[in-house]
Structure 1
Amino acid sequence: MFTKKTPLIALGAVTLLALSGCSTGSLSSDGSDAGSGSDSGSTTSASEVTVGTVGVQGDIQDISAFCGDDDLTVALADGFGGNSWRKITRAIFEEEAAKCPNITKVLYTDAQGDTQKAISDINSLVAQGVDVIVTFVDGGEALLPTIQKATEAGVKVVPYVGSPGGTPGVDYVDFVSEDINTYGKNLAEWTIEKMGGEGNLVMLGGIAGNSYSQAVFDGVMEAVEANPGITLLNEDGPVATDWEPGKTQQVVAGLITKYGDIDGIVADYGGGSVGGIRAFEAAGKPLPVWSANDSNEFACLWYQYKDAQPTYQIATESSRNWVVTAALHKGLAAANGLPNDEPSTYNLEIIEDSTDPDKQPKCESELPPDAILSSGLSVDSLKKLFQ
């Protein structure tokens, strides 16, 4: 396993890029070469923020090392805030920011899946004098010029999970995420193995065109291409579900009608997958092998159906809401001129596997269905959030 000591983009190289105006290119979350995004020549002043290293959740440090002393305003600019994952992530961000006494204001915007609103939200935050913007870029590279302008205005911008393309350390402080392609590949490999290496597979994504789901899909494709017995029914890209259980139920019902037999599903949102499970039940079809990120209800539904459907198995990786804390830390360090060597990319592993006695799914009946147990939010906070 890689550690945070494994640099992918050396700081010296980033500095040379900024001074020379040349670009060697970097990979965005969808795996494409995004170096051309730095044509503006914009730079951050975050010379002490290490960019592009790989590690694990345990490498995240205490926020006190990055708070600084000056009064600061921070903001979470969400591309879409309408599901439980986003609500939990917002709560984590606000709880983490509250640990710094000099953060005098914490703002939040929700673009509601509208790229133009996301652009307007960031411009508005810059106009309000925000010092740090952490943002989930659902709109992909369409947001890059806006982020570059915010950087040029002196705002420390840190995208997380959804990438705007461009060059971390130049167009913005850093990009923080899990290894998205590996997430998709790991879950697809598990799913294909439990399918016996043959059958029909579907990959469920979120909002149409978002860079995160595309990166997960690319990882799934790697596993599919290595298994000729698998037919990926949505070979042109992830199936859009808007990351909402109701929409997922409708979409999966349509897939069942169209294809009949579906033997395996890889999803990039466990909370939305519960709607898909209901679609199979309503259609009277056997539940397929299913993998996603963790969700309390997703686990609880497995316990509900496992005895009647012994071939129905699930696996999850962490929903990694906690990466937002690392994004905030990097933004604060940049704003305060402090060093930060926390990882940019986090390796994930399968944490729940219904076929492994040591990794049985975790269903907490005392917690709300929407709770995410790996999120990093306390049990009391989860109960309060969904009361």
Structure 2
Amino acid sequence: MRNNHVRAIALAATLPLVALTACTTTDPSVTQTSGTGTGSAAASSPASKDWFDQTLYDTQNQQRSATFEGNPEQPYLQYIAGPMTDTSKFKAPGAHKVCFANASISNPWRQTGWITMNQQLKALQGTGVISEMETRDAKDNDNTQIADIDYFIAEGKCDAFVISPNSTAALTQAVERACQTGKPVVVFDRGVQTDCATTFIHPIGGFAWGIDTATFISDKLQSGDKVVALRILPGVDVLEHRWAAAKKIFEEKGIQAKDYFTNADPTEIKKIISDELATGDVKGVWMDAGDGAVAALEAFEDAGKKLPVMTGEDEMSFLTKWKQTGIDAMAPVYSNFQWRTPLLALEKIFKGEPIPTEWVLPQKPILADELDQWLQRNQGMPSGHYAKFGGEDLAGYPEVWQQRQIP
């Protein structure tokens, strides 16, 4: 996945809401390791921070098989049963202005979501729920996003705030200031270290991703087999959680997994794979995001080696290559349809309806027997599109997504 920036999830009710999602900004308390770089194996991620959390691991493991409330045909409205927020005080007639402080649209995953969000916005404008959505793009910069939120607060014209934080700790106080306005605040995708928001929306999380992917690869291999783990960058919670879960499982199964940071650079990925193939057979490739999955497979093809067992993501470039090569693979998902949910949550809030305090969305990987179905459903979509974008029922489908019309 394009993922840059992913934050942690706080799933226990007694814990603060901490983030989720993938992108490129890192936790400001973390420094990059000297092991990160071209062709170099990753050190143990930033050694200053222990990313494994057994409680969170267990919670997300259980949530992988949880029953979700709501219509499965509308996964962007489904949620795991839990505490609900009373929004009756926000009930108000008429159309409302929404102010959206977005971390960025700097990668294909966020671009796909942004397209879907804008088509959902048009639908809610058409039904008189939202009058306009003023959006400010922080371009992956914490200080810019803090200034954006403070601008909205000072402007005083927002009926509601939607915030996709650039990073967790840095944005916490700005989100709290938005909460202090008395207006509803919806945080999604990545979280912050406060529970003041009206709702926090996110898929299950990084540990679930790591469990799905490492279990899949381990079940296909034998103890002692070598796996190359390709990681985008250090210090991003959900990405770190993905690897922490995968590393645990690989170690338990006796799989020899060697991880590298790649910054999603296809040239770097090819070099890493080529160097590893020169030292022996590579039986599997694990990725913490799908960017560069095609490059990894091309390195095997260039070397004339048997293609590996592999996990990528639901980006169309990987799904297409998977089909073409017939590899043994699966595509984990960090549900892109979550970009619809904040606006649909506001529709409920303005009606005074209760909504989940922590809105945990489905996060189901694509398995081999579903590949053809998802390729068919997304026929004609460009390589940077994400299969589980969840916007098929919106106006403009499929042309808006096919043409990548970025608002």
TM-score, structure 2 normalization: 0.68
Shift of 1:132: 3.0
**Counterpart selection for 1:256 from 273, 276, 296:** 273
Counterpart CA distance in 2 for 1:315 and 1:265 is 11
2:248 — aligned with what?
222
**Counterpart selection for 2:68 from 32, 51, 55:** 55
Matched, 1:136 2:149: no
**Counterpart selection for 1:89 from 88, 103, 113:** 113
TM-score, structure 1 normalization: 0.71
2:261 — aligned with what?
239
Matched, 1:192 2:214: no
Aligned 8 A contact 1:176 1:327 in 2? yes
Over 3 Å counting, the alpha-carbon distance change for 1:373 and 1:60 in structure 2 is closer
1:288 — aligned with what?
308
Segment of structure 1 superposing worse, 259-268 or 100-109:
259-268
Counterpart CA distance in 2 for 1:349 and 1:124 is 37
1:300 — aligned with what?
320
Aligned 8 A contact 2:286 2:312 in 1? yes
Over 3 Å counting, the alpha-carbon distance change for 1:25 and 1:259 in structure 2 is same
Correspondences of 1:17-28 after superposition (within 5 Å): 24-26=14-16, 28=18
Higher relative contact order (CA 8 A, sep 6+): 2
Over 3 Å counting, the alpha-carbon distance change for 1:277 and 1:154 in structure 2 is farther
Matched, 1:153 2:181: yes
Matched, 1:383 2:402: yes
**Counterpart selection for 1:113 from 132, 137, 140:** 140
SS in 2 for 1:350: coil
* Count of residue correspondences: 327
2:331 — aligned with what?
316
RMSD: 3.6
Aligned 8 A contact 1:173 1:331 in 2? no
Matched, 1:80 2:131: no
Shift of 1:151: 1.3
Aligned 8 A contact 2:75 2:362 in 1? no
Gap runs ≥5 in structure 1: 1-7, 11-23, 34-52, 242-246, 307-311
Counterpart CA distance in 2 for 1:183 and 1:253 is 24
Shift of 1:301: 1.1
Task: Quote the sequence identity (%).
Answer: 20
Deviations 1:81-101 (A, max 9, x none): 122211111112112222222
Over 3 Å counting, the alpha-carbon distance change for 1:338 and 1:224 in structure 2 is same
1:371 — aligned with what?
385
Shift of 1:220: 1.8
Over 3 Å counting, the alpha-carbon distance change for 1:272 and 1:92 in structure 2 is farther
SS in 2 for 1:329: helix
Gap runs ≥5 in structure 2: 1-10, 20-50, 55-65, 79-87, 393-397
**Counterpart selection for 1:345 from 360, 370, 374:** 360
Counterpart CA distance in 1 for 2:261 and 2:274 is 15
Deviations 1:173-228 (A, max 9, x none): 2222121111221111112222335433344444542222123223323322421x
Shift of 1:148: 1.3
Over 3 Å counting, the alpha-carbon distance change for 1:212 and 1:287 in structure 2 is same
